[in-house]
Amino acid sequence: MSYFAHPTAVIDDGCQIGNGTKIWHFSHLMPGCQLGENCNIGQNVVISPDVILGKNVKVQNNVSIYTGVSCADDVFLGPSCVFTNVLNPRSAVNRRDSYLQTHVGKGASIGANATIVCGHNIGAFAFIGAGAVVTKEIPAYALVVGNPARQIGWMSEFGQRLNFNTEGLAICPESGQKYQLQNAKVERIS
């Protein structure tokens, strides 16, 4: 395998790291984590045991990704965002057998300082605003903001806000891709 790791990065035995991946200053990859090809791991990132990152995942500085989290290809994790893995942590109570799973779908973006409470999946191409606190499932293409996070719209695969007409159709202003909104779900149709 061919990847780059800054000399200050700590990579424990048992990590799988894809070709072309870059791991920057003071980051720590723990045993059993898996990183796909062409990932970029910023400074001071913690990736806990058994975390799975797909291809081309961008992890910005100061992000914590705990056991139970998986990210599909092309996910963006903004600076200082964090995932949890236990709903009711206590220092004196070991709950390692209670970790809840969280999956981030293909192409989703999570903004700076957002918190993802464990056990809630994020759909493909969803957009989580900076500082949002996710406490429930987020549908594909949804735009959510706030604490707790609430949906305020829909986003295209290019990260542009979608404006649906009365027939439930929208066109991404950047890519020209067409989308259909039906039964509170968005689907790309071209």
Q: Over the stretch 64-115, which tens digit does the pLDDT of each residue have?
A: 999 999 999 999 999 999 999 999 999 999 998 889 999 999 999 999 999 9
Kindly report the CATH class assigned to 160-190: mainly beta
Cβ atoms < 10 Å from Cβ of 84: 20
Per-residue CA distances from 154 to 35, 138, 160, 168, 183 (Å)? 29, 11, 8, 12, 14
In the prediction, which pLDDT does 82 show?
96
Residues in the chain: 190
Contact 7, 26 (CB under 8 A): no
Helices (H) and strands (E) in the chain, counts: 0, 24
pLDDT tens-place values along the chain, 190 residues long:
699 999 999 999 999 999 999 999 999 999 999 999 999 999 999 999 999 999 999 999 999 999 999 999 999 999 999 999 999 999 999 998 889 999 999 999 999 999 999 999 999 999 999 999 999 999 999 999 999 999 999 999 999 999 999 999 999 999 999 999 999 999 999 7
* Domain ranges in the chain with CATH number 2.160.10.10: 1-155
Q: Please, is 65 exposed, middle or buried when counting C-beta atoms within 10 Å of its C-beta (0-12, 13-18, 19+)?
A: buried
Task: Report the Cα–Cα distance between both ends of the chain, in Å, rounded.
Answer: 37
In the prediction, which pLDDT does 136 show?
97
Contact 102, 116 (CB under 8 A): yes
CATH number of the 1-155 domain: 2.160.10.10
Contact 156, 174 (CB under 8 A): yes
Chain centroid to Cα 80, Å, comes to: 12
* Domain ranges in the chain with CATH number 2.20.70: 160-190
In the prediction, which pLDDT does 97 show?
87
In the prediction, which pLDDT does 1 show?
64
